[in-house]
Chains A and B, each alone.
Chain A
Amino acid sequence: MSALAREVGSDDTAGRLVRPFTLTGGRTRPSRTDFTLITTVTAVDPPPERAPRPQPEQTRILRRCARPIAVAELAAHLDLPVSVVAIMLCDLLEAGLITVHPPHPVTPRTPDLDLLQKVRDGLGRL
């Protein structure tokens, strides 16, 4: 490997043209906390008529969530931190361009036997 290749290749972010938090206008926290790793997001199709024109990175997200997709999967496919994707999803949600489906609520004090049985059955079929 040449010295140049080593230098370029040694950095994980090599190849990424934009620093992640420039995509969020420098914001490091989402304005709301709807977006967990396994929250599912779906693009609204067709988009609302009055919605602002999405930015290029937003268009990438919208294309990825034409079908429901979990936030963690979206972040992995986009090669962006989940925190950055969450901020961008906030903007898309506020613009009415996506819908959000929260994860199944799990609370240790009130276990959901029906849910557990479904997971058990599903694993049994693997």
Chain B
Amino acid sequence: MAGSDTTVETIAPPDTVKILIAGGFGVGKTTMVGSVSEIAPLRTEEPLTVAGLGIDDLNGIEQKQATTVALDFGRITISRELVLYLFGTPGQQRFWFMWNDLAIGALGAVVLVDVRRPDSSFAAIDFFERRGIPFVVGVNGFYGEHPYPAEDIRDALALPADVRVLLCDARDRESCRDVLIALIDQLIADARRAS
């Protein structure tokens, strides 16, 4: 029977969807991608020329900067027909939001927050709020410790009441999965309300 299956086994390409994992430098984005991905996180880098955005430039001289923006990503096969990609923005880079089609067509985003430096994730929160991209906040407790309750973090970040805040551990697969599920649950609730 080995040969008879080959026609049935034509490899139809799966539908793909994506979720973004964002947040400040060193907050655990790539760790989170790696925790839930079925493949070791892959990296792709894009050269960018950034004109007039040299916010570190104290001279005030407008100049073109050549920089590279990197993405780490992983994959979760939902079914034979559907594959979910997770894109994280690693490193200390200011230009990840210029990655052209990163935000377009994303189901939503997880903004990871470091309890010790919540302000490092302000930019990511602001980005998704402005673009109307749904997101949840995952508070990554380093060493699994959570000194503050989720509501304190919500207040500190001035988050609207409808944005869910979850305490999590980026190293832990189930914890990361639960954050992703919370995002999807929020999307489902929003969809039901809209229909």
B164 to chain A, nearest CB (A): 15
Q: Which residues of A contact B158 (CB under 8 A)?
A: none
Q: Which residues of B contact A124 (CB under 8 A)?
A: 181
Q: Which residues of B contact A12 (CB under 8 A)?
A: 45, 68
A116 to chain B, nearest CB (A): 5
Cβ-defined contact, A42 with B173, below 8 A: no
- Within 8 Å by CB of B190, from A36, A111, A115, lies A111
Q: How far is the CA of A39 from the CA of B14 in the complex (A)?
A: 10
Q: Which residues of A contact B106 (CB under 8 A)?
A: 106
Check if A63 is an interface residue, CB within 8 A of chain B: no
Check if B129 is an interface residue, CB within 8 A of chain A: no
A interface residue count range (under 10 / 10 to 19 / 20 to 34 / 35 or more): 35 or more
Check if A108 is an interface residue, CB within 8 A of chain B: yes
Check if B147 is an interface residue, CB within 8 A of chain A: no
With CB as the reference atom, state the residue of chain A lying closest to B181: A123
B131 to chain A, nearest CB (A): 9
Q: How far is the CA of A72 from the CA of B101 in the complex (A)?
A: 12
With CB as the reference atom, state the residue of chain B lying closest to A115: B17
For window 105-120 of A, CB contacts with B under 8 Å fall at 105-106, 108, 111-113, 115-120
Check if B171 is an interface residue, CB within 8 A of chain A: no
Q: Which residues of A contact B15 (CB under 8 A)?
A: 101, 103-104
Contact with A along B106-118 (1 / 0, CB 8 A): 1100000000000
Cβ-defined contact, A106 with B132, below 8 A: no
For window 37-78 of A, CB contacts with B under 8 Å fall at 37-40, 42, 67-68, 70, 72-73, 75-77
Check if A122 is an interface residue, CB within 8 A of chain B: yes
Cβ-defined contact, A70 with B191, below 8 A: no
Assuming the contacts A113-B195, A123-B177, asked whether A40 and B42 have C-beta atoms less than 8 A apart, the reply is no
Check if A82 is an interface residue, CB within 8 A of chain B: yes
Give residues in B with beta carbon < 8 Å to A: 11-18, 36, 42-47, 68, 71, 73, 75-79, 82-85, 87, 101-102, 104-107, 132-134, 173-174, 177, 180-181, 184-185, 187-188, 190-192, 194-195
Per CB-CB distance, the 8 closest pairs between chain A and chain B, nearest first, are A122-B78, A111-B191, A68-B13, A76-B42, A101-B13, A38-B16, A40-B13, A104-B15
